[in-house]
Structure 1
Amino acid sequence: MNTTDKKFRRRAEARPDEVLDAALELFIEKGFASTRVEDIAKRAGLSKGTVYLYFPSKEALLEGLVRRVARLQSGRCRIWPSSKAIRACPSPCWCIRCKICSDPNNLAVPRLILREIMNFPAIAELYRREVLGKVIPALTALVARGVASGQLRKSIRK
């Protein structure tokens, strides 16, 4: 196999992420409803047909963005085992040594979901299940460990 074949294969494997990157940029700039698949293809440097090869619809692109954030978070986020997390990190999933939560593109996905929740409740449910369903239990465990170790005070409600 020559180097050209390797380069082509590597590019083909990267295309779904290139399409998702282009889609996210345009969804942020123009909004989901105003973005056309043709615009996404042009931004990604591909044909419209190639986009449909990887994602059968514009809604599938939105779903792909949610799944990518979920995959990144579950693969790389590490929850701090102390109260430093709550004090130090303003992002929705208190983590250390990862650029996932601080990446503006990843932070744009929840905002996009919130904007489109009324039109695409299935995508919002996917985000709740795939992202929040994993982050919230981790945060709950973090707080419980903090209370158990004495690093956090147990809230007293009256």
Structure 2
Amino acid sequence: MSKTQKYDMILDALQSLLEQKDIQTISVSEIAQTAGIGKGSIYYYFPSKDAMLEALVERSYEKPLLTAKHLADQTEISPFTRMAMIFQACHSSSLEFRKSDHTSSAANAPENAYIHQKFLNHLITELKPTLTRIISQGIEDGLIDFDNPEALSEIALIVLAVKIDNTLVPSTPEEIHQTIQGLVSLMERGTGNPEGTLNFLKIL
């Protein structure tokens, strides 16, 4: 059995257990038993249960993020179009997370928030460098007027991730839409673009 197969078996076991129990009550021994491998093998791949959970989040929701990164690196495309791709990737990843999230029936509120926090951290961390590069190119091309592209990308992603995930600050669809509209309006003014320039970034 290859290392990759064992790695995936461990994550498959954790994912299966999360459908029935919350993360705090799942032991490493239980994960090993479900995976059909020795407990010692678990620690060869993961230093802790927390590391396993982070790897599961990364594996489960990486596809839309990788797609966005690939498209965003195509510098012949307008930076605004590539920003829309990043926004859409954020949206798609959150939809996938909610669709396959089995914690709501098995876990209590703190447990649910813990897993969602892992997802949000992964989403923002992964997309921030890509969005920063896109904004930086827009600045270089004279299309965007802003002094700190890294800060702008982080602000945009935090607002998008939190509102789209809709667990940390639960909101109605109308409230989410208003927040996204407000974000787009602030980005237009802050980057020196006329009102309506970034309308296509509104993904909701």
TM-score by length of 1: 0.53
* Counterpart in the other structure of 2:24: 33
Q: 2:111 aligns with which of 113, 116, 120?
A: 116
Query: How much has 1:71 moved relative to structure 2?
Result: 3.3
* Counterpart in the other structure of 2:100: 107
The SS at the match of 1:29 is coil
Trace 1:44-83 onto structure 2 (pairs within 5 A): 44-69=35-60, 71-76=62-67
Whole-Å Cα distance in 1 between the matches of residues 100 and 4 of structure 2?
A: 24
* Counterpart in the other structure of 1:129: 121
Are the equivalent residues in 1 in contact too, given 2:28–2:42 (CA < 8 A)? Answer: yes
| Deviations, residues 108-156 of structure 1 (Å, cap 9, x unaligned) | 28867x74377x69x93x533321453864x67xx689x4376689xxx
* Counterpart in the other structure of 1:148: 197
% of aligned pairs identical? 25
* Counterpart in the other structure of 2:150: none
The SS at the match of 1:33 is helix
Whole-Å Cα distance in 1 between the matches of residues 200 and 97 of structure 2?
A: 31
Are the equivalent residues in 2 in contact too, given 1:65–1:109 (CA < 8 A)? Answer: no
The SS at the match of 2:20 is helix
Alpha-carbon RMSD across the aligned residues, in angstroms, is 4.6
* Counterpart in the other structure of 1:4: none
User: What runs of 5+ residues in structure 1 fail to find an aligned partner?
Assistant: 1-7, 82-88, 154-158
Query: How much has 1:76 moved relative to structure 2?
Result: 3.2
Whole-Å Cα distance in 2 between the matches of residues 18 and 107 of structure 1?
A: 18
Summarize the Cα distance change of 1:151–1:57 in structure 2 as closer, same or farther, 3 Å threshold: closer
Are the equivalent residues in 2 in contact too, given 1:19–1:41 (CA < 8 A)? Answer: yes
Q: Which amino acid aligns with 1:128?
A: L
Q: Which amino acid aligns with 1:42?
A: Q
Are the equivalent residues in 2 in contact too, given 1:66–1:109 (CA < 8 A)? Answer: no
The SS at the match of 2:26 is coil
Please, which moves more after superposition, 44-53 or 60-69? 60-69
Larger % of helix: which?
Answer: 2
Q: Which amino acid aligns with 1:116?
A: E
Q: Which amino acid aligns with 1:66?
A: V
The SS at the match of 1:148 is coil
Q: Which amino acid aligns with 1:74?
A: L
Whole-Å Cα distance in 2 between the matches of residues 75 and 65 of structure 1?
A: 16
